[in-house]
Structure 1
């Protein structure tokens, strides 16, 4: 995608979603970190249903450790891989208490050393909690970046690097939110809704999907 088209691509997505934010619910950086860890291979909506009551009672690492692994499982058992995730959340909470004064570090490397925290999770936390210019590449972002020609790459790492290279300054903080929302609601995996896409003319995907009535 040409440089001018990239800027226009983001401009149109931003016009459609002027204030794009994560759909995961949280009350502070710690609960955001927990929510993102829980969201692996799960939907944001499913995580929100599970954490809504949890985050009314638990908002700090100390409270999570006090709740314990079994207590946490009672809240998150509707989420996939809840046993492993409960173990990781308790372990990362203990690590935050021991190594970071109970605070979520604003550093990608430090975040990735926490149990259950990979690069994508660290990028989300850095972006949402601290306003860092990071590009969290989930399945939606990976698909949109490749399908549209915005930032093609065969691996998550290559797509992240491509996004970092081509995304202009006005959109660097909000880019991954714009792409996630576009992929979740318009540029869907099985059948992209090209007929209502605001960037269809800039997109490399062919053939464009016709409206349902004309399919």
Structure 2
């Protein structure tokens, strides 16, 4: 775990991220808040690209809780069978769709507690939905952010909650809205797990990672 970077260094890191990509976007395809919830729930232990491939046709016919219930678990399973853990995920999507239809009139709630009460929706999923749909500056820590936060010194922590808190505490407020997207994209494409692409990294000179690739 790297040493926590100081405020000025972190500001410079996110200034560079902002300059390179002023409006970073999540890569999961969706058409409304409901399909975003479903897409993020399906993305656990799966790639965004794999989820998008499975959901393009699905969301054309089932973009509301009631339409998903009409499709049914068997129909949903056929659409998402290329995604890891698809059987359990199909059960969860049908369950959360039933709850949304019965208890929320088909409308996705905009509170973390309510979102996390839905089957298959954890803290990370709730934070992604709050950030991407409602513009709440939440920090959804996945494996890419956890790795980057600890390697770089931007947000070191022993677990995802610690890293989430470190981001909230140490990233300047004006960068909080897009912070998790910048870090996810950097971790996914540059600060990769096995052989980080340090020569191409725009924050190489500021990063605390000792084993930089030549």
TM-score, structure 1 normalization: 0.96
Pair 1:122 & 2:126 matched: yes
Q: Which residue of 2 aligns with 1:2?
A: 6
Determine the structure 2 residue equivalent to 1:142.
146
After TM superposition, the structure 1 stretch with the greater mean CA deviation from structure 2, 106-115 or 8-17, is: 8-17
The offset of 1:207, in angstroms, is: 3.0
Are 1:159 and 2:163 an aligned pair? yes
Q: What do the CA deviations read for 1:188-207 (whole angstroms, capped 9, x no partner)?
A: 00011110100011100013
Q: Give 1:87 deviation, angstroms.
A: 0.2
* Unaligned ranges ≥5, structure 1: 211-215
Q: CA deviation at 1:15?
A: 1.5
1:172-215 CA-to-partner distances (Å, cap 9, x unmatched) read: 110000000000000000011110100011100013211xxxxx
Aligned length: 210
Task: Establish whether residue 35 from structure 1 lines up as the match of residue 61 from structure 2.
Answer: no
Q: CA RMSD in A?
A: 0.6
Which moves more between the two structures, 14-23 or 146-155? 14-23
2:71 is aligned with 1:63: no
Residue among 16, 20, 29 paired with 1:16: 20
Cα distance in structure 2, aligned partners of 1:177 and 1:196: 19
Distance in 1 (alpha carbons) for counterparts of 2:173 and 2:27: 23
Runs of 4+ in 1 over 3 A off after TM superposition: none
1:98 corresponds in structure 2 to 102
Q: Are 1:189 and 2:193 counterparts? A: yes
**CA-CA distance at 1:100 after TM superposition:** 1.2
Taking the aligned partners of 1:101 and 1:161, their CA distance within structure 2 comes to 33
Distance 1:37 1:182 in 2: 22
Q: Tell me the secondary structure at the aligned position of residue 80 of structure 1.
A: coil
- Provide the TM-score with structure 2 as the length reference: 0.97
Which residue of the partner structure matches residue 88 of structure 1?
92
Secondary structure, counterpart of 2:205 in structure 1: helix
Q: Show structure 2 runs of 5+ residues with no match.
A: none
Deviates more, 1:121-130 or 1:15-24: 15-24
What residue in structure 1 maps to residue 111 of structure 2?
Answer: 107
Cα distance in 2 between the residues matched to 1:88 and 1:13: 36
